[in-house]
Structure 1
Amino acid sequence: MLDVLLVEDDHDLATTVVQYLELEGIQCDHASNGVRGLQLVQKHDYDALLLDLNLPRLDGLTLCQKLRDMGHDIPVLMLTARDQLQDKLDGFRSGTDDFLTKPFELDELVVRVNALTRRRSGQARILRYGELKMDLNKREVCRAGRPLKLSPTGWKLLEILLREAPVAVSRQKLEATIWGDSLPDSNALKVHVHYMRKAIDAGFLSPMIQTVPGFGFALRDSDDQT
């Protein structure tokens, strides 16, 4: 069951959202102000954060920015009555992943929540999956606490796979993201994945870099492979 947090000061709306999400099999905690919301996120491992923009004590933009500064990669869906472009730009700069403008349909909220929880936040500066942890600010990556050494291309490949894990990423997307229109020879991606696999999987019982025949590659831990 998914476990999400709603930070919303409108009590009636919050009650409706919490009850509807739970009918859809999504556990939802509620905080009525930004300070309490920040405390709950720090104490619990939520799958997503549903965040009102205008909140007492600590507004949604500031709360989101604080979480990103602390390294939290929780996906954030901002709920707001504002639909101006500048408001959305401010939200994305603070680390929001998606917006839903009030009033909204509850079934659309469920779709957005499910989509967000299938991936990690693209705004995060610290990426985690299974035993892997990548700190984008410090340019450090480790598996089970063991530091890993990657080439610049290997770093880019792992970042892409971490952001999508455990979903497979196509060869075309990997090549386009890393090299753009200046594609290398046909074996370049294969060679870089080979060295990345040696760096990440060597010395561990369960390989995490998985080849998806005829498609591309995926990052998966032992639970995803069973």
Structure 2
Amino acid sequence: MKVLIVEDDTSIAANLYDYLEAGGYEVDVASTGNAGLQMALADSWDAILLDLSLPGMDGLTLCRRLREEAGRDTPVLMLTARDALDDKLEGFVHGADDYLVKPFSLKEVGARLGALIRRYRGQVAAMDLRFADVRLDLSTMAVERAGRPVKLPPKCLQLLRILMQSPGRTFSRAELESEVWGEELPESDTLRTHVYTLRRALCEPGEADVIETLHGVGYRLMATGHDTK
């Protein structure tokens, strides 16, 4: 998925770039409104992260021209320090799809961006994640295995969500620890303990393990179980 960041604050742009690229997005950056509009029109994007205050051309004008003059319906998530209701309403009037006030959490940017792209692609049903006979309803965070409810503590729910959003992908320990615990990294065995708890909750006697451990590498979802350590 391709995302364009239009942001003149180099620190914010770099943080967004690194976070989204690590999440599997193909990312490019423009630091002025004029450059942002040119790049938005020169390629096809799954979403645009658009700062409101930009040199050359402000974000509102860019968004309006993108909608009215170019006829592009690319999802736009506006990023701004302006938190007044009138500012937000003005953003929506000019064509923004969503609005996030600085300072913001990178995780919230990722969540809102993913939701915008799913709606744009007509994939709202993707809020209901499934892998094998495991189902996770992201709207309620309810989990089922083969139709039976599975109760999980919050951190295990976060782990399951991450794994189910990219089945088959191997996540390193560092990735999972960063996603779940943020900057307050856990003790060395904490992740392993939570994966063990998640496995125990998902796997009743006779059910296959859906989490594979790649020793020295990380974890991933798989169709049949081999390793339960």
**TM-score tier after normalising by the smaller chain length:** 0.5 to 0.7
Greater RCO (Cα-Cα under 8 Å, separation 6 or more)? 1
1:26 Cα deviation after fit: 1.3
Q: Give the match for residue 77 of structure 1.
A: 77
TM-score (norm 1): 0.53
The within-5 A match list for 1:133-152 is none
Identity of matched residues, %: 54
Q: Give the match for residue 45 of structure 1.
A: 44
1:84 Cα deviation after fit: 0.1
Can you list the C-alpha shifts for 1:87-114, whole angstroms capped at 9, x where unaligned?
A: 0111010000000110001111100110
Q: Give the match for residue 106 of structure 1.
A: 106
Q: Give the match for residue 165 of structure 1.
A: 122
Which 4+ runs in 1 deviate beyond 4 A? none
1:165 Cα deviation after fit: 2.8
TM-score (norm 2): 0.53
Gaps of 5+ in 2: 126-229
Aligned-partner residue type, residue 3 of structure 2: V
Asked which structure has the greater CA Rg, the reply is: 2
Aligned-partner residue type, residue 109 of structure 1: V
1:4, 1:87 → 2: CA distance? 24
Can you list the C-alpha shifts for 1:139-197, whole angstroms capped at 9, x where unaligned?
A: xxxxxxxxxxxxxxxxxxxxxxxxx73557xxxxxxxxxxxxxxxxxxxxxxxxxxxxx
1:119 Cα deviation after fit: 1.9
Aligned-partner residue type, residue 165 of structure 1: G
3-state SS of 2:119 partner: coil
Q: Give the match for residue 59 of structure 1.
A: 58
1:101, 1:166 → 2: CA distance? 26
The root-mean-square deviation of aligned C-alpha atoms, in Å, is 1.2
1:12 Cα deviation after fit: 1.1
1:3 Cα deviation after fit: 0.6
